[in-house]
């Protein structure tokens, strides 16, 4: 039997051990200040959070984590690890800017080295996240970008290409923080309902195989406390509502692919006719 090369061996994925590896990497990578002192990357991030615009009063990593309900560098739960990764990613993007704004003995000798090390760490973290079906998206709604971790979904990615105006809305549903957040899920589904309402009025689905799906979606939108809050809404316990919202999101994503599916069917039909 032919031996597999190192490039063909399947990588073992373990979020906990990968995160521990990230911590070890941050602690073993050092940079030198103009005062000839050394800081490892973990210490660098602990310093640069003091000027990070989104710090919300925090003056170190632990104070930020404690006020946001997670533990710094703990591996006790998957959400805790993802919160850590998200904070670390944002600070790795901020660190070169932080250094560029300094002109004292505590700034660093070789700024390109800071850029290179931060970029290397960012790419390693992105790879680790991709191995557990997560992605890092860049939110540019503010002057300084935010880097947000969300679940990867091929169908959603496809819809974003054909409906870019819904990109942030769809991706926010996949944000790991919103996994059990009923309010966030409802907000996304309401935005999707508003988007689909015009297509429904234009009878885009009337007389097609998508019509029953469209009508079922609007039954949920209008009766499952998404667009309305009144006594006529379906009486559902929270676990059932969450399950229904998740299924509704998947069904809506499928409906949003109608134009791409129709285009594909037309293309195949033409090929069948000409061959």
Among residues 101, 126, 151, which one ends one of the domains? 151
Domain of 56 in residue numbering reads as: 15-151
The mean per-residue pLDDT over the stretch 9-14 comes to: 70
Are the C-beta atoms of residues 195 and 163 closer than 8 Å to each other?
yes
The mean per-residue pLDDT over the stretch 203-210 comes to: 84
Predicted confidence at residue 101, as pLDDT, reads 61
Supply 30's token pair. Answer: 């050092």
Residue 239 scores a pLDDT above 70: yes
Flag whether 202 is in a domain: yes
Cα–Cα dist 82/203, whole Å: 42
pTM confidence score: 0.75
Cα–Cα dist 213/192, whole Å: 14
Among residues 117, 151, 185, which one ends one of the domains? 151
Q: Are residues 180 and 192 in the same domain?
A: yes
| Residue 70 DSSP label | -
Flag whether 133 is in a domain: yes
Q: Are residues 146 and 189 in the same domain?
A: no
Predicted confidence at residue 255, as pLDDT, reads 92
Residue 30 scores a pLDDT above 70: yes
Angle between helices 182-201 and 238-256 (to 10 degrees): 40
Q: Are residues 24 and 138 in the same domain?
A: yes
Q: Are residues 113 and 198 in the same domain?
A: no
Q: Are residues 33 and 143 in the same domain?
A: yes
Are the C-beta atoms of residues 62 and 72 closer than 8 Å to each other?
yes
Residue 176 class from Cβ within 10 Å (0-12 exposed, 13-18 middle, 19+ buried)? middle
Q: Are residues 214 and 259 in the same domain?
A: yes
Average pLDDT value over all residues in the chain: 87
pLDDT in tens, 64-75: 999 999 999 998
Are the C-beta atoms of residues 167 and 148 closer than 8 Å to each other?
no
Are the C-beta atoms of residues 221 and 190 closer than 8 Å to each other?
yes
The mean per-residue pLDDT over the stretch 177-195 comes to: 93
Residue 13 scores a pLDDT above 80: no
Cα–Cα dist 94/50, whole Å: 11
Distance of CA 164 to the CA centre of its chain: 16
Flag whether 6 is in a domain: no
Flag whether 221 is in a domain: yes
Predicted confidence at residue 87, as pLDDT, reads 97
Predicted confidence at residue 111, as pLDDT, reads 58
The mean per-residue pLDDT over the stretch 5-9 comes to: 63
The mean per-residue pLDDT over the stretch 9-16 comes to: 75
The mean per-residue pLDDT over the stretch 205-229 comes to: 91
Among residues 136, 151, 166, which one ends one of the domains? 151
Flag whether 8 is in a domain: no
Q: Are residues 139 and 225 in the same domain?
A: no
The mean per-residue pLDDT over the stretch 104-119 comes to: 70
End-to-end distance of the chain based on CA atoms, in angstroms? 43
Q: Are residues 101 and 144 in the same domain?
A: yes
**What percent of the chain shows pLDDT beyond 90?**
49
Cα–Cα dist 176/70, whole Å: 14
Q: Are residues 265 and 168 in the same domain?
A: yes
Residue 106 scores a pLDDT above 70: no
Are the C-beta atoms of residues 189 and 221 closer than 8 Å to each other?
yes
Cα–Cα dist 122/117, whole Å: 9
Structural domain total, the chain: 2
Residue 155 scores a pLDDT above 90: no
Predicted confidence at residue 35, as pLDDT, reads 59
Flag whether 3 is in a domain: no
Residue 249 scores a pLDDT above 60: yes
Q: Are residues 21 and 147 in the same domain?
A: yes
Residue 201 scores a pLDDT above 90: no
Residue 154 scores a pLDDT above 90: no
Q: Are residues 122 and 167 in the same domain?
A: no
Q: Are residues 255 and 166 in the same domain?
A: yes
């Amino acid at each position: 039997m032919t031996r597999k090369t190192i490039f063909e061996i399947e990588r073992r994925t373990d979020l906990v051990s990968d995160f521990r590896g990230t911590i070890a990497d941050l602690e073993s990578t050092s940079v030198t200040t103009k005062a000839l002192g050394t800081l490892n990357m973990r210490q660098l991030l602990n310093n640069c959070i003091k000027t990070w615009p989104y710090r919300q009063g925090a003056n170190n990593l632990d104070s930020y984590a404690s006020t946001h309900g997670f533990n710094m560098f703990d591996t006790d739960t998957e959400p805790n690890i993802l919160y850590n990764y998200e904070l670390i990613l944002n600070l790795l993007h901020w660190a070169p800017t932080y250094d560029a704004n300094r002109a004292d003995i505590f700034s660093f000798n070789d700024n390109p080295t800071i850029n290179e090390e931060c970029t290397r760490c960012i790419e390693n973290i992105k790879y680790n996240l991709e191995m557990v079906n997560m992605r890092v998206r860049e939110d540019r709604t503010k002057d300084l970008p935010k880097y947000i971790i969300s679940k990867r979904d091929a169908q959603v990615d496809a819809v974003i290409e054909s409906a870019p105006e819904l990109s942030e809305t769809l991706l926010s549903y996949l944000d790991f923080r919103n996994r059990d957040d009923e309010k966030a899920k409802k907000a996304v589904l309401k935005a999707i309902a508003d988007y689909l309402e015009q297509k429904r009025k234009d009878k885009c689905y009337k007389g097609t195989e998508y019509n029953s799906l469209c009508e079922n979606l609007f039954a949920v939108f209008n009766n499952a406390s998404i667009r309305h809050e009144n006594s006529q809404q379906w009486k559902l316990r929270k676990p059932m509502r969450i399950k229904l919202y998740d299924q509704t999101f998947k069904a809506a994503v499928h409906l949003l692919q109608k134009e791409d599916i129709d285009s594909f069917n037309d293309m195949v039909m033409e090929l069948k006719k000409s061959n």
